[in-house]
Amino acid sequence: MSHHGSQPRSGLRLMHVHAHPDDESSKGAASTAMYVAQGVDVHVVTCTGGERGSILNPKMDRPDILANITEIRRQEMERARDILGVTQDWLGFVDSGWPEGDPKPPLPEGCFALVPLEEAAAPLVRLIREQRPHVVTTYDERGGYPHPDHIKCHQVSVAAFEAAGDPERYPDLGEPWQPLKLYYHHGFNRPKTQAIHDAMLAHGLESPYVERLQDWKPEPEWDARITTRVPCSEYFGVRDQALLAHATQIDPDGMWFAVPREIQEEVWPTEDFELVVSHVPSELPESDLFAGITDPA
């Protein structure tokens, strides 16, 4: 671990905006842990409490856990936060759930996805002005996957990134602060999934991605949106520990852990992002979310 005096990046601030507790551990967690080790101040914002998340780990699927899911997910988040070394705030909205059925049922009243955008962005504007991040990350316009909370998280993040620096907007929510760069996560891209799938087969192992790849239409123009690949494979183990902290959501025997870490490190040692807005000059492609930020205030 880095000792005092070897923290080259202290003074830099990074904010990740996520929909539910566990998203911070399943998306960008290795680069998060790496930046923390380098002295970056990393702040996670969690839009909802994950109240409607199903219990995805069979070992945790018990009535006592379901009865206390909100509190348990808060405790899991605290453990993950400690493992990653981040600070974190809850925006306080209520999980919208994953609508099941055809046609899909209406979203539950009062849930995050139904809050008007102007109102939903307000607490994030306040946090951006308080925390003063240089870089903000969130999901792409599809939400990474089309969960209503992920799409809303994208919309809220983009709106707040723009509004936070504008003294005319939300004038009572603190001194304006304009973050310098906005990124979208591209963690589940097809080329990465294909590369890991191929490597599993080459090593004579069973790939967890057979069905997913069959149904996943290649979209080269979408994949070409990745601008920034951050090498962080030595922190994949920290990422895995943070994931396991979300015990109700992550099955240790499930797909997340089906691929040996050695294969992941060899085949795809980066976490991948798309630079969407930059107020500093930066040459693409990048290997660092702070590329171009030379003298942070």
Annotated binding-site members: 20, 23, 150
**Omega cis (within 30) before 148:** no
- In degrees and rounded to multiples of 5, residue 208 shows phi and psi of -80, 0
Q: How far apart are CA 15 and CA 243, in angstroms?
A: 19
b/e 142-176 (16+ beta carbons within 10 angstroms → b) = ebbeebbbbbbbbbbbbbbbbbbbeeebbeebeeb
Q: How far apart are CA 21 and CA 26, in angstroms?
A: 10
Antiparallel, parallel or unpaired: β 135-138 and 181-185? parallel
Binding site feature residues for Zn(2+): 20, 23, 150
3-class secondary structure, 41: strand
The structure tokens 């000059």 sit at: 281
Residues 6+ apart with CB under 8 A from 253: none
Q: Which residue has the tokens 């963690």?
A: 187
